[in-house]
Chain A
């Protein structure tokens, strides 16, 4: 790692002020992406501003018809939360598939969302559930927040404080893990809320998470895995690498979507 200064603010306001006035400073939440990146010298922040002391960012609560999760809630917090398990079991089930138990004790939802890794799980849940990302300055809907691989709508100095997930009628997440890294080779989050259907795909698209509109249209007629029979995504804009070529990923999108719908219907 390159050298850096370390700050541990005691309030969100203080964190924002530090981030604003320190050139090339970065926020660290759980650090489970940032620290490995820094170890490889692929990131060189002048300072780390640690949100670890801000307990105000850790809460999970049901607010009206939404579940609001603090940015510093860990994957283990989300997986074990009675509020999440009752209102959006698909989200708790997604959280428990991230990394391993020790990683889940440190990694946070805010960090995962801010990083927008094209193989992470939370972006699929955010887009699939129509979440709103709440920062210290504004509210951003998922469609506008995720702007491509590792790219988000966050401005300089902006800090995610919460993510608000509207409660669905039915939802489920299915992913095909890379057997070595355990990251999502392809993950599909499906959701039904009244007449609204969403199918969000992660791991596959070359621009990160996206909605598979053809599948949404098919499921709008009937929310059943049968509606997706024979459908696979187009391989045109799919990632292609040593782990899976674009055609295989396109095929997996169809398979994972059917599995997710099956699980959602069975709930």
Chain B
């Protein structure tokens, strides 16, 4: 066993884990934060994307122990109480989901995209940046609309991440 300490959605957590434990397993099975999904388990689909120290990362290809001392933000940490994060609100408004399985990863990737590239991102950029997130329903059209609107809303709200 190995001990690990990290901050998840603003709360400090410590645990003894088998070193094999993936970050996504740790979040889902140890912390019961099941909003982060496991899709392909091969770092291709992006359903497991969380932010590690402010950067989008595939939690299925990161060991929990590698996140030692890191600040983790998951989909559960995005909303401000009962108020959805602007990117979440945009996904609801534009129906940026069908089955919803890829949605947490899409939203975490979208927020990371805005953090890096700003609020005014065009469709081509959004589609290119979503390269590592797969929607098996192929519902990309509304996802792209949602990201574009969410990006603008994040600018309007003058916020980067609700959890900060």
Residues of A within 8 A of B (CB): 1, 3-6, 8, 28, 31-32, 35-36, 39, 48, 50, 52-53, 76, 99-103, 105-106, 182
A–B pairs, 23, beta carbons within 8 Å? A1-B20, A3-B20, A6-B19, A28-B66, A31-B62, A31-B63, A35-B62, A36-B42, A36-B43, A39-B42, A48-B63, A50-B65, A52-B68, A101-B109, A101-B129, A101-B131, A101-B132, A102-B43, A103-B132, A105-B52, A106-B57, A106-B58, A182-B131
CA distance A52 to B65 in the complex (A): 10
Which residues of A lie under 8 Å from residue B63 when comparing CB positions?
A: 6, 31, 35, 48
Q: Of residues 102 to 147 in B, which have CB atoms within 8 Å of A's CB atoms? A: 109, 112-113, 116, 129, 131-133
Q: Of residues 46 to 102 in B, which have CB atoms within 8 Å of A's CB atoms? A: 46, 49, 52, 55-58, 61-63, 65-66, 68
Which residues of B lie under 8 Å from residue A182 when comparing CB positions?
A: 131
CA distance A236 to B43 in the complex (A): 34
Is A6 a contact of B43 with CB atoms below 8 Å?
no
B2 interface residue (CB < 8 Å to A): yes
- Among A6, A48, A50, the most chain B Cβ lie within 10 Å of the Cβ of A6
Is A76 a contact of B61 with CB atoms below 8 Å?
no
Is A106 a contact of B20 with CB atoms below 8 Å?
no
Is A106 a contact of B61 with CB atoms below 8 Å?
yes
Apart from A31-B62, A31-B66, A35-B61: 17 A-B pairs, beta carbons within 8 A: A3-B19, A4-B20, A6-B2, A8-B65, A28-B66, A31-B63, A32-B61, A35-B63, A52-B68, A53-B68, A100-B132, A101-B116, A101-B129, A102-B56, A102-B112, A105-B57, A106-B62
Which residues of B lie under 8 Å from residue A28 when comparing CB positions?
A: 66
Q: Lowest 3 A-B CB distances belong to which pairs?
A: A100-B132, A6-B19, A105-B55
Is A4 a contact of B58 with CB atoms below 8 Å?
no
- Among A31, A53, A100, the most chain B Cβ lie within 10 Å of the Cβ of A100
Which residues of A lie under 8 Å from residue B61 when comparing CB positions?
A: 31-32, 35-36, 103, 106
Which residues of B lie under 8 Å from residue A50 when comparing CB positions?
A: 65-66
Which residues of A lie under 8 Å from residue B20 when comparing CB positions?
A: 1, 3-4
Measured between C-beta atoms, what is the minimum distance from A104 to chain B in Å?
9
B18 interface residue (CB < 8 Å to A): yes
With both beta carbons as reference points, the residue of chain A lying nearest to B59 in the complex is identified as A102
Is A3 a contact of B18 with CB atoms below 8 Å?
yes
Q: Of residues 10 to 44 in B, which have CB atoms within 8 Å of A's CB atoms? A: 18-20, 41-43
CA distance A39 to B55 in the complex (A): 24
CA distance A3 to B58 in the complex (A): 21
Measured between C-beta atoms, what is the minimum distance from B56 to chain A in Å?
5
Is A102 a contact of B109 with CB atoms below 8 Å?
yes
Measured between C-beta atoms, what is the minimum distance from A98 to chain B in Å?
11
CA distance A236 to B90 in the complex (A): 54
CA distance A4 to B116 in the complex (A): 36
Is A4 a contact of B19 with CB atoms below 8 Å?
yes
A103 with B19: in contact, given A6-B2, A8-B68, A31-B66 (CB under 8 Å)?
Answer: no
Measured between C-beta atoms, what is the minimum distance from B107 to chain A in Å?
13
Which residues of B lie under 8 Å from residue A5 when comparing CB positions?
A: 19
Which residues of A lie under 8 Å from residue B66 when comparing CB positions?
A: 28, 31, 50, 52
- Among A5, A35, A39, A50, the most chain B Cβ lie within 10 Å of the Cβ of A35
Which residues of A lie under 8 Å from residue B19 when comparing CB positions?
A: 3-6, 48
A105 with B18: in contact, given A6-B65, A31-B62, A50-B65 (CB under 8 Å)?
Answer: no
CA distance A182 to B66 in the complex (A): 26
Which residues of B lie under 8 Å from residue A32 when comparing CB positions?
A: 43, 61
